Structure 1
């Protein structure tokens, strides 16, 4: 038998040590050969030539080359991406879907933010709930303090709905701090701009539902946005939610009525405020308006593209007036904010991932998650890791599961197809103990199975009753846009989940998010890296 240098060195060292033991000597033998460190050449050729082996070695080399700037204020710009409801299972499934959309098996694919050099886990519970809501989680990320479910930027001692108490216990947000430093600020969302996550950037209310009306003594969320006092006000705002800014007797360009009962047109109030302040304040509400933005001549921008939430990404082509994608809004926001020498703070939310899950539509949730990854790529391409901290995370997870034993490359939205059994002519659709097929993706609770053909609007599901439990889906095209997965526990809407979510980061201070941390740490990393607090 021939011995290579590594094997021979090991054998000699082992033999000398064994001899020393037999002689009763415990001290190191002077003639003991030094261990020989193996190189890749010592490994079998098939091992070292494996793409898995080589790709991992390249990843180590890339990671080793990353330099870290941990100086306070090193991040001139801070961008926080929040995938609403984008838990780990959603990221995994979206990754596979994105890869399969490109003709690959999918499992090996990486979404844009998964290529960032630092990652960790975030604990999402509210101070009064194991499984959180988006108001309490968004407050944690944007104020640095955990609080109750359902409240925005008031501390945990305030009872939900307590107007007077909320006025005594407000919390300051990262957007306010950035404005006071003279930075430009922006908020982008595919949800209503008065919805929980975007509202957490500027509003302080003990009830997230006060979007267009509030009890006497408190101000509703839409009013607080228009009257936002920090600095010179938020510079770029894009999302849905026109109805909270218009009186109920006013019909918008898409034929939808406003919600306000106080008769105030807040869109006009916003325009008047910034017109008096000088500069060019631009209001837009459709694709044509978005396409017509003159970046050099726009000082303030308010874009409200829908009466309620904006469309799901897959359904966007059906919008009456047309609306921009999340990635397009992100790119435009960065262009507008980048005009400041002092830098900027930008919050970007993919709000409808969450809504797709609530409706039991993995298709809509995942296609919106893929679009969020596209938006992150736009931000990465438009900025430098030397002066811009980008953080990508979720406010909470959902009860979507990826299960069964599907073969590699099986459509992530498809029925489970197993590997060939010995002697089987082709892969087989797996059957459960009840004799019925099942999908890789299912929900632990919710409205349950339904099929709306090629519909791309997950909200269609709410028109029909709960149909939870097992169904015979043998003839169903589970990969179609209108398919809604089965659910175990019957509920009128699928719920959030309570497990940790991921966080990915690039730029100054990104390494501070490694490990498992409380959700409010995100604010403190942004404040440290962005110099928002001393």
Structure 2
């Protein structure tokens, strides 16, 4: 049984910080059931149709966001109300349809005035609430949900969750990989007789689970005018593919930090940690002995003479890219300001334990560093070159960008620094060996928000490849399309699929640029999302649109969309489902309908796809743990713990 009107209106008042005068014991509530449906009329206004009311005392209807009152002989007042959606050209909507009409008897006539006032307030509050269906053009995820029980601890403390003890050790995952490679060498002649890879490129679609890949085929086809058809993703034609299990040491659904540790180091770790083994606790404070470090593919590749690169459209200190170089007990330790937040008593003695400092101070050899998050590299109160209205956040008064420049000057290196988007074009990468691009204070914008005369992620990829192609001994490059994930966290399906469309362009560019005889290229995701393509949407209609089959069979008589989320910020609390048939479902900021309300949509525990081409790609022919991705890249390069002096299958 739904909440009575008094409870509902109290909830709405509390949301808007209004004082609620109406109390449950002042009214006797009688539910009046009705059936509602809606359809746009020819002139664009909203037409309504109603079934018969099941209670004869609730016989009034007003098609506006107000109420009617009728005084009866016994002095009681009957109110019957509902609320209608009004549509504007830009798709901003007022109050949602209330599917249960309620008759309220009030003893005193003065109560009627109070009730009528509250009906008006309720309508106004509903209008504000309905705007939650749309995000904003500038929505930026700066911090994901706190993951796992161990993240609920107070600063400076930690709680380690139970784990399978033998999985704690990197040796355990190495032995599994070694056994797999030995079997594969007997099965695949191309591996047994093949050479190691000169280059390795890992392309990561953050949050690009199989539902995103499936929906993306239709979205991309429709965007380029191939209605009724599909557009295969470039990697779908590659010779080898499989699935990867994504659980971490603590949870069955991973976060981006522990997954980055797995697919970039070859070792699973605790939820929220980067580049450390499970011997360390989440948010544990201290300076770690390197015995607890899980060495990344990038670090191992450098040790065998490879050039290296990290490229993302998130902050470069965000969870996924920092898996290439970082070793922290919690993913949000992106600057020393964050370090102080989690380790208030220890942080001054934790020298260079934040991710920004680790990148510049401990890994100056990385040839290409491209991403957002400039604020983490400049002192507090210093205006950022990328945006003078934003200041740095560092507490140690260090300008890490200046330190990077001074280091390469002292070594006589040829380098290029890009501090804002407009500077990329003037960077002559044909003459440099080191490129640092931090063109935005925070994450890079979504691709659809970047103007035609500004570089997008593909523009930066082109520059990165020109630097790395000049390196004689080969390279390792990590490329992340990170904002697929951010849009999913916001329940913004169109944005997410558009980010994947741009990711396809990057993958196609890489495939057509590199020599696949000497370059191993892998496409994968770190995790899935609570996102699904459901129902039976027609192939000749937009994948963003309404399902024509199930829309005629829903129990609430409102249409069904094909794209939906299990949880996220568009989940409603004690409210009826909104009618997508009269919402601007094609808006960039439209949030798909969602079952469970959460601040951000969670990840999904589905296995993710792994697609590979080039040397050693036959490894990906059976389902693997995500740790196998890193182990395979190290194996292909002959990097530790594998022996570069031997042929792969020797």
How high is the TM-score relative to the length of structure 2?
A: 0.65
* Greater Cα offset, 359-368 or 440-449: 440-449
2:224 matched to 1:102? Answer: yes
Partner residue in 2 for 1:504: 611
Say which of 343, 350, 365 aligns to 2:474: 343
Whole-angstrom distance in 1 between the partners of 2:427 and 2:598: 44
Partner residue in 2 for 1:53: none
Structure 2 SS opposite 1:94: helix
Given that 1:447 and 1:468 are in contact with CA atoms closer than 8 Å, whether structure 2 keeps it comes out as no
Given that 1:356 and 1:362 are in contact with CA atoms closer than 8 Å, whether structure 2 keeps it comes out as yes
Partner residue in 1 for 2:409: 275
Whole-angstrom distance in 1 between the partners of 2:190 and 2:577: 51
Partner residue in 1 for 2:302: 179
2:625 matched to 1:514? Answer: no
Per-residue deviation, 1:70:
5.2
Per-residue deviation, 1:467:
9.2
Which whole-Å deviations, capped at 9, do the CAs of 1:123-162 have from their partners, x for residues lacking one? 0011101111011000111111111111111001210112
Whole-angstrom distance in 2 between the partners of 1:165 and 1:508: 39
2:426 matched to 1:292? Answer: yes
Per-residue deviation, 1:287:
2.8
Shift of the 446–329 alpha-carbon distance from structure 1 to 2, 3 Å rule, reads same
Given that 2:191 and 2:618 are in contact with CA atoms closer than 8 Å, whether structure 1 keeps it comes out as no
Partner residue in 2 for 1:244: 376
Whole-angstrom distance in 1 between the partners of 2:588 and 2:445: 14
Per-residue deviation, 1:511:
1.3
Whole-angstrom distance in 2 between the partners of 1:113 and 1:67: 23
Say which of 345, 350, 368 aligns to 1:217: 350
Whole-angstrom distance in 2 between the partners of 1:468 and 1:388: 54
Given that 2:551 and 2:558 are in contact with CA atoms closer than 8 Å, whether structure 1 keeps it comes out as no
Partner residue in 1 for 2:137: none
Per-residue deviation, 1:221:
0.4
2:321 matched to 1:189? Answer: no
Say which one has the larger Rg.
Answer: 2
Given that 1:360 and 1:443 are in contact with CA atoms closer than 8 Å, whether structure 2 keeps it comes out as yes
Given that 1:441 and 1:485 are in contact with CA atoms closer than 8 Å, whether structure 2 keeps it comes out as yes
Let me know the Cα RMSD of the aligned residues: 2.0
Partner residue in 1 for 2:397: 263
Whole-angstrom distance in 2 between the partners of 1:109 and 1:467: 40
Whole-angstrom distance in 1 between the partners of 2:484 and 2:570: 18
Whole-angstrom distance in 1 between the partners of 2:573 and 2:379: 35
Partner residue in 2 for 1:432: 554
2:293 matched to 1:206? Answer: no
Structure 1 SS opposite 2:586: coil
Given that 2:430 and 2:466 are in contact with CA atoms closer than 8 Å, whether structure 1 keeps it comes out as no
Structure 2 SS opposite 1:365: helix
Shift of the 182–94 alpha-carbon distance from structure 1 to 2, 3 Å rule, reads same
Given that 2:240 and 2:621 are in contact with CA atoms closer than 8 Å, whether structure 1 keeps it comes out as yes
Per-residue deviation, 1:468:
7.6
Which whole-Å deviations, capped at 9, do the CAs of 1:210-246 have from their partners, x for residues lacking one? 10013232511000000124xx610001110001001
Whole-angstrom distance in 2 between the partners of 1:173 and 1:210: 18
Partner residue in 2 for 1:478: 585
Given that 2:368 and 2:435 are in contact with CA atoms closer than 8 Å, whether structure 1 keeps it comes out as yes
Given that 1:469 and 1:488 are in contact with CA atoms closer than 8 Å, whether structure 2 keeps it comes out as no
Whole-angstrom distance in 1 between the partners of 2:259 and 2:194: 25
Say which of 596, 599, 602 aligns to 1:492: 599
Say which of 467, 476, 484 aligns to 1:353: 484
Query: Structure 2 matches for 1:13-32, cutoff 5 A?
Result: none
Say which of 271, 277, 280 aligns to 1:158: 280
Shift of the 527–71 alpha-carbon distance from structure 1 to 2, 3 Å rule, reads farther
Q: Structure 2: where are the runs of 5+ without partners?
A: 1-187, 340-346, 644-650
Whole-angstrom distance in 1 between the partners of 2:441 and 2:573: 27
Whole-angstrom distance in 1 between the partners of 2:214 and 2:403: 44
Which whole-Å deviations, capped at 9, do the CAs of 1:62-109 have from their partners, x for residues lacking one? xxxx99455575211000011110000011111111111121136532
Per-residue deviation, 1:409:
2.6
Given that 1:331 and 1:382 are in contact with CA atoms closer than 8 Å, whether structure 2 keeps it comes out as no
Say which of 375, 382, 398 aligns to 2:529: 398
Per-residue deviation, 1:529:
1.4
Query: Structure 2 matches for 1:13-162, cutoff 5 A?
Result: 68-69=190-191, 74-105=196-227, 108-162=230-284
Greater RCO, 1 or 2 (C-alpha within 8 Å, sep 6+): 1
Per-residue deviation, 1:430:
3.7
Structure 1 SS opposite 2:498: helix
Shift of the 312–67 alpha-carbon distance from structure 1 to 2, 3 Å rule, reads farther
Whole-angstrom distance in 2 between the partners of 1:105 and 1:74: 43
Shift of the 73–241 alpha-carbon distance from structure 1 to 2, 3 Å rule, reads farther
Structure 1 SS opposite 2:424: helix
Partner residue in 1 for 2:493: 362
Say which of 463, 468, 471 aligns to 1:332: 463
2:510 matched to 1:388? Answer: no
Partner residue in 1 for 2:72: none
Per-residue deviation, 1:373:
1.1
* Greater Cα offset, 157-166 or 284-293: 157-166
How high is the TM-score relative to the length of structure 1?
A: 0.79
Which whole-Å deviations, capped at 9, do the CAs of 1:409-450 have from their partners, x for residues lacking one? 3211111123xxxxxxxxx9545210111210000001117x
Query: Structure 2 matches for 1:4-19, cutoff 5 A?
Result: none
* Greater Cα offset, 211-220 or 337-346: 211-220
2:534 matched to 1:412? Answer: no
Per-residue deviation, 1:262:
1.1
Which whole-Å deviations, capped at 9, do the CAs of 1:171-191 have from their partners, x for residues lacking one? 111111111122110000000
Whole-angstrom distance in 2 between the partners of 1:468 and 1:220: 43
Whole-angstrom distance in 1 between the partners of 2:250 and 2:560: 36
Structure 2 SS opposite 1:163: coil
Given that 1:97 and 1:106 are in contact with CA atoms closer than 8 Å, whether structure 2 keeps it comes out as no
Q: Structure 1: where are the runs of 5+ without partners?
A: 1-65, 419-427, 450-464
Shift of the 182–303 alpha-carbon distance from structure 1 to 2, 3 Å rule, reads same
Structure 2 SS opposite 1:390: strand
